[in-house]
Structure 1
Amino acid sequence: MSVFSKIIAAIVLIALPHAALADTVSTGNGDDTFFAGRLIDQSIGTNGDTFVTARSAQVEGAASGDLHVSGFDVAVDVDVAEDLYAMGSTVVIRGTVAEDLSVMAFSARTESSAEIGGNARLMGSSVTLDGPVAGALSVIGRDVILNARITGDVRISAQTLSFGPEAVVSGRLTYSTKEQITVPAYVAPEERVTFEQVTGAQIFEDWRDIGTEMPALPTFASMMFGFIISLLFFLALGALMLGFMPRRLARLRRSVAQAPGQTFMLGVIGLSMLFGTVPVTALTIVGLPFVPIALLAILVAWVLGYALGAYSVAMRVWAGLGGADDPSNFARLAILAAAITFIALLNFIPFVGWVANYTLVLLGIGAMTRAVLQSLIGNPDVAFDVDMKPIED
């Protein structure tokens, strides 16, 4: 599955639970099939990839592609021709998987009927494996019980590890626990068992090795580079707006200065409407392909609102300090650059920086919302009486 397909799948898995409050709904897009609902007890027989999300999901049948299941309680009794991905609070796997299995849950279990043809990766607080795995097995958990035949290598990291009577490891067994345990001979001979105790020093050393490639905390140079790139982006955006739409930009700026409170509330309304388009679009089912477009619109509005809010407030401060009412475009860009720099410094103050940035976004989006509403309902500048004469106050 491509990266774009995984992004779309994640969006669908997030949006669909809100779209289907009672009944199970399903839709298809190409070879992909989507199921959503609060309580799903579904028998499937799909040709391509299948996506299921619900508060409680019990799925059976067969899937010829990948199967993705998410929910609070998940039970999968599906024969999957390719990979199976499952996530939830409680996940139970009963069907066969031709290729790989990936599970993340608070409590994860594979029953004896769950035969995995490829590799298996499980993560959870409690992990129990009763189903055989033809490939390699990787487990991270607090309490792990292995009671199945594993053909490939096994790597387990757990607080407690125990083995059932059906546990057999044909490959190499590497385990990490708080203390070394005795691995029964029927599981694997001693020469194929390796104990790796994880210590605080080893964790710190691994963290340091990772930090040499990608620092955990940004250095001053990287922070400055990111700020300069952001500043150049907003200056380029400001230059485009001043060059192509100076009058409209002036009107938007004046609307912020003349009624900041009203503009702020319009920003709240406008941003709420934008975020509301995501579940509403998903609710129509046929609009699912347009959910990424709605998310992109939110991102664009956020950036434009931030730039417009910063520019409007900076110009108001400039006028308050006695600056020229109509400075040159170069001066306007310098004012915008000073505003972006000042706001970036505010980000080092906890909470204050976030409030300042969010306020600017709402002011900018509020000005744009006002312009959109005025274009839809009109904005007469002068009121006339029946004789088409201006009404005197």
Structure 2
Amino acid sequence: MVTEKSIRMSHRAMSAALVLLLALFSLFATAAVGQHLRDGRNVVLEGDLTGVQFTGGETVLIKANIADDLFAAGRYVTLEDATAGNTYIAAFEVDQRSGAVGDLVAMAHTVIISGSVEDDLLSAARMIRIASSATIGGDARLAAENMDIGGKIAGNLRAAAKSVTISGEVAGTVDLLAQKIVIGPNAVINGDVTYRSEVEPEIAEGAKISGSVTKVESNLPEMRSIIGAIIGIVIGLLIGWVVAFLVLTAILAWAFVGYFSIAANRLVDRPWASLGIGIAILIVGAVLSLLLFISIVGIPLGVALFVAIGIVKLFGSVTVSACVGLYLRGLLRRSAPPPSTAGRTGWTVIGAVILGLVMLIPFVGVVITGLAVVAGAGAASVEAWRRLRLTTV
């Protein structure tokens, strides 16, 4: 049964996917024309910068006036009196202390917004806090465990969380999915409030809501039998896929042992550069494949390119597996001689199993393994290009 909730969730998922696709496509276009990649342990961007900026490190401090878009990744990413166009950040903690950006896409453990987002805000984190000083010029689409929303949102608010507290102003409508909803005494909501929760929202005296407050039923019990059948099918397919993947990983690791060893070392030495290159190759390839599928003449080439993307992802996965497996071997056998071909193959398979277990971690597992495989694809592609150049010289 297709419910209103499933339709809305599908629309939100498509919107989020579209935003991320456009963000990554912008990054690849930048990489294709040779923009500078800044990466290191501690990175500081200052001054007036032109062109798209792509930066990563343990800590990233951005104090620059960036005339174009910004892509940043790291453990701690801080924007302090920084201006930029559309901004895309993946980190453990994102802190926009001041300044202004265009669209902001932030994926992290903790996201704190105290400055200005001139257009839309799209964020997924464990904790999201929009301070009272913050302004969002467009819509805010948020997903988190805990959420504290102050400041002003000029558009609509769409949020899913365990706990949501609204103490600021929302000019548009509010659509919430949460266990606990608190609307504080200083909250101002100029549109309707729609919520999905087992308990009634706590609306403090003094809160101003111009529209209606409506609860939407989930109708989840009617879908349990369908969900159970789908889960059974998925489990069967996953078991078959896991076995096939491990066998294929062993075959590739055995056949190209030297290649994957060098690619794994490159991934360790240049993780951020490998991630940027991997993203560029995979997403630009996917976009080009889609464009080729649109035209009848380009369909065969589109199919070939789509298959090539799958091969690149597979090689990226084997590269990461080799990296993880050999690192584990180094921890367990510090004084042991270098492994044989059979040994490297075995440790690569063990690395693939560990990678699969990490993927099972709720919420963050898929993100971690996905980024790792993309980085591995970048390292594997660079090594393949290096060998191709050597054979053509």
TM range (shorter): 0.5 to 0.7
Distance 1:269 1:65, change over 3 A: same
Contact 1:66–1:80 at 8 Å: present in 2 too? Answer: no
Contact 2:62–2:80 at 8 Å: present in 1 too? Answer: yes
Task: Tell me by how many angstroms 1:276 deviates.
Answer: 4.8
User: What TM-score, normalized to structure 1?
Assistant: 0.54
Distance 1:4 1:101, change over 3 A: closer
User: What TM-score, normalized to structure 2?
Assistant: 0.54
Please say if 1:47 is aligned against 2:67.
yes
Matches within 5 A, 1:194-233: 194-201=214-221, 204=224
CA RMSD of the aligned region, Å? 4.8
Partner of 2:87: 67
Distance 1:281 1:294, change over 3 A: farther
Please say if 1:273 is aligned against 2:274.
no
Distance 1:4 1:67, change over 3 A: closer
The whole-number CA distance in structure 2 between the counterparts of 1:97 and 1:294 is: 29
**Range moving further from structure 2, 65-74 or 275-284:** 275-284
Structure 2 residues not aligned, in runs of 5+: 1-18, 31-35, 238-249, 284-307, 319-352, 357-379
Q: Deviations over 1:9-56 (max 9, x none)?
A: 4999xxx99952345589x99721122221223312100001122211
Distance 1:23 1:177, change over 3 A: same
Partner of 1:299: 311
Distance 1:185 1:206, change over 3 A: farther
The whole-number CA distance in structure 2 between the counterparts of 1:175 and 1:119 is: 17
Contact 2:93–2:108 at 8 Å: present in 1 too? Answer: yes
Distance 1:114 1:22, change over 3 A: closer
Task: Tell me by how many angstroms 1:71 deviates.
Answer: 1.3
Partner of 1:234: none
Distance 1:280 1:145, change over 3 A: same
Q: Report how many residues are paired.
A: 263
Distance 1:99 1:203, change over 3 A: farther
Please say if 1:143 is aligned against 2:153.
no
Find the structure with the greater CA-based Rg: 1
Please say if 1:20 is aligned against 2:63.
no
The whole-number CA distance in structure 1 between the counterparts of 2:159 and 2:251 is: 55
Matches within 5 A, 1:1-393: 3=21, 6=24, 9=27, 20-24=40-44, 31-181=51-201, 183-184=203-204, 186-188=206-208, 192-201=212-221, 204=224, 265=254, 267-277=256-266, 292-293=280-281, 299=311
Structure 1 residues not aligned, in runs of 5+: 224-260, 307-350, 355-364, 377-393
Distance 1:216 1:44, change over 3 A: farther
Q: Percent identity?
A: 21
Contact 2:170–2:189 at 8 Å: present in 1 too? Answer: yes
Distance 1:22 1:169, change over 3 A: closer
